Structure 1
Amino acid sequence: MWIESTLIAVFVMVLLLDWITLIVHCIVGVGLAWLAYSLTTEAPRLEHVTLIHLPIIFFAVVLGTLANYVTEVVRLEQERAMLATAGSIAHELRTPLLGIRSGAAGLRNFLPALLSAYQLARENSLPVVAIRRSHLATIEGVLERIETEANYSNAIIDILITNTRLPKLGHEDLSPCSMMRCIRIALERYPFSVDEISQIAPVTGNDFIFEGVELLMVHVIFNLLKNSLRHIAMTGKGEICIRAVSSSQCNQLVFRDTAAGIPSEVLPHIFKRFYSLPATGDNILGSGIGLAFCSEVVQAFGGTIECSSILGEFCEFSLKFPRIQS
């Protein structure tokens, strides 16, 4: 009975655990079991029946470990392929966007002169095709909108490329950074629309210094802004509040929006790469890349990131960083 229970336990562990955890659990479990047996038995020994079944148990553990290892390798390769593809697509989009932006900028220099010449031609009854006044007004503003959309798309591509190509950071790569400076840079560079700017409340709190990389921290804030603005647009309500808190225990960045919130059953999974909510129709930045990137960056800085939320009321991210010892 005990041998059958052991085999069942091994197969369950194979299904539930990764290969490293499986090996550790088997070693620790067998060791603790033998220790308990030795302490509670006057003459501990291995029975003949147990010895016969040891190869079967060993085979199950080894086979399960190999199966889990292969599965993990395949999963990692799939992730690398998906990230490489996303990064390549984003990189290739830069060239046409640059051409569109350059063309719009060039037309913008000469369009006023062309419109002025058209007006003079009409006033002097020259044979030119008539254009409605409403169409003329649209033409005057269309190039500015093209440039705005191109700049926005370039900013989103920058975020996507950074999210998919996070470098491995060592302690030597980190340097003292000002959190308020990172927030200011992020708010200055993020391509807000006119409506989105009004949804950002004034930043509050006290500045603090953390060990990190300024560019990566700015992109963390970019991702949080992107997610919050998307949810505000979906629900039609809410604002974003950013607060920096410095205390004797730790330094903390609090990022809160009062939009849709996140269901409680989803919260434990939001930092997993490629995890998403199918019902929300999230785009590539909201499909498990952005928040996973945020988590990896903050952990590389020696900090932690947590999320609390009440569905329909708010969503709050708390980024905690260790204090720099003076």
Structure 2
Amino acid sequence: MSSMNGRAIARWLRTGLQRIWLRLLSSVRLSVEYSRANMKLFALFEILGQPIYFILWKFIYPQPHENLELRLACILLSLPMLFEQQMQGRLWRRVLPVYWIVFLVFELPFFFIYMSLINNFSSLWAISTMAAVMVMVILVYDWLMSLLLAFIGAGAAWLVFEASGGMIVDPPLPVAALFWIYLFGLASGTAFNYKTELVAREKLSAITDAVGTMAHELRTPLLGIRSGARGLNNYIPTLIQGYQAARDHGLDVPMIRRAHFEQISAVLNRIESETEYTGAVLDMLLVNSSRTAIDSRSFERVSINQCVDEALDRYPFHSTQERALVEWRAGDDFVFQGTHVLMVHVLFNLLKNALYQLARSGRGRISIWSLRRRGERMNELHFRDTGPGIPAATLPRIFDRFYSGMPRGQGTGIGLAFARVVIESFYGQIICQSVEGEYAEFIIRLPDPQDL
């Protein structure tokens, strides 16, 4: 009996630890997602603020101790965050969450608590630490992560302080009281932040549930239409032969021109094709609503140039003038492991966004070219428009689900998010480089199937 209880307790502890770990991973991901727009600004404040406050606390309002080396370390840690928007590779996306957490812990709780300790918790450093607590609450968003990072940073600062032989002697402010003040600021700030975050999550959850439900409901009738069109198309040749035989035998049947038969067949082909692409739209909605994932079992070797050709042939341009804005410079063709339909739909999204931006700015062109990099693992497809470009503040979020840089009602925020999911399911990556007022360029990198 005791051994069974021991196993049950161990299983309960293991399950609890797994839940806590998953909760922390989710907190890190959300913190990075929500903070990306502020990362560069915070890094800039650190780079400028550290030397300014070194001068203030060293010469103008002298404090007992300063640490130039620690401030220089803060500046060095901040430098990569200045270029976070330009570093959009897969490796950086994997490293960014860890780097962001280390960056926050070092720059806020560790730095300010350590400086408070070596300065015997002077009034100035006690107030500065309170300000750092509030900044961390704003940047981290998640209450659990805020508390955890604060205690990790403070604990690390205390260990370094103790290891260096530091000692607090008659502080002007009671340290125990400061602890409770900091804890109150941290707890109250994260509580208010958590309520705002909870409302935002509930709204997003409601949207994704509604989108997923509608997509599921539409798939069944769409499959019925597609199957019906395919069945009719299969019997069209037989019907034509029967009609022609009746005419040849002098039966009284209405006259139907051959062009009309061809038109019927073309319409059925169009219905089948359009339902196939509408199904891709529904797949896009389902993927973005987190209801399903792209099935890689249907992947095959696909030609990138054929995908671009079909996308340009099938895209519903409003006029010949609009079609003339797109230049396709077919380079050396290459193949990738994926699906033809999904890649074409990715190109549809890029075309739609680029044409919208060109129409809005009244200028620019679109250039598409393929680049086969012989001897390298990744081949590339470039999609560039010389329209208004993408603002630097918007660029980090363009691949986020349900985020749109277009005016309200003119964008759903699912196209580019879907594009990233599709390309990554093809074992590749999609990045965007842009200079506001000059251009926006999407680069799709796909590996050779032989390298997978």
Report TM bin, short chain.
Answer: 0.5 to 0.7
CA distance in structure 1 between the aligned counterparts of 2:178 and 2:307, rounded to whole angstroms:
62
Q: How does 1:175-254 map to 2 (within 5 A)?
A: 177-178=301-302, 180=304, 183-184=307-308, 187=311, 190-193=314-317, 195=320, 197-198=323-324, 199-210=326-337, 215-234=341-360, 235=362, 237-246=364-373, 248=376, 250-254=378-382
Tell me which protein shows more helix as a share of its residues. 2
Distance 1:308 1:60, change over 3 A: same
CA distance in structure 1 between the aligned counterparts of 2:157 and 2:211, rounded to whole angstroms:
49
Q: Counterpart in 2 of 1:5?
A: 128
Is 1:30 the equivalent of 2:157?
no
Aligned residues between the structures: 285
Distance 1:299 1:73, change over 3 A: farther
Deviation of 1:156 after TM superposition, in Å, equals: 7.7
CA distance in structure 2 between the aligned counterparts of 1:300 and 1:270, rounded to whole angstroms:
18
Q: How does 1:68-87 map to 2 (within 5 A)?
A: 68-86=193-211
Bigger RCO of structures 1 and 2 (CA < 8 A, at least 6 apart): 1
Partner of 1:227, secondary structure, is helix
Q: Counterpart in 2 of 1:110?
A: none
TM-score by length of 2: 0.49
Q: How does 1:1-326 map to 2 (within 5 A)?
A: 1=123, 2-19=125-142, 21-23=145-147, 25-42=149-166, 49-86=174-211, 158=279, 160-166=281-287, 169=293, 177-178=301-302, 180=304, 183-184=307-308, 187=311, 190-193=314-317, 195=320, 197-198=323-324, 199-210=326-337, 215-234=341-360, 235=362, 237-246=364-373, 248=376, 250-277=378-405, 283=410, 286-311=411-436, 313-321=438-446, 325=451
- Give the conservation status (yes or no) of the 8 Å contact 1:275–1:287: yes
Partner of 1:206, secondary structure, is coil
Amino acid corresponding to residue 368 of structure 2 in structure 1: C
TM-score by length of 1: 0.64
Could you tell me which runs of 5 or more consecutive residues in structure 1 were left unpaired when the two chains were aligned: 106-142
CA RMSD of aligned residues (A): 4.8
CA distance in structure 2 between the aligned counterparts of 1:316 and 1:82, rounded to whole angstroms:
30
Deviation of 1:258 after TM superposition, in Å, equals: 3.5
Deviation of 1:224 after TM superposition, in Å, equals: 1.1
Distance 1:249 1:62, change over 3 A: farther
Amino acid corresponding to residue 302 of structure 2 in structure 1: S
Distance 1:26 1:213, change over 3 A: farther
The percentage of counterpart residues that share the same residue type is 29
CA distance in structure 2 between the aligned counterparts of 1:44 and 1:251, rounded to whole angstroms:
60
CA shift digits 1:267-320 (9 cap, x unpaired): 3332233333455x662xx34221222234434555432212344543210123
Could you tell me which runs of 5 or more consecutive residues in structure 2 were left unpaired when the two chains were aligned: 1-122, 233-263
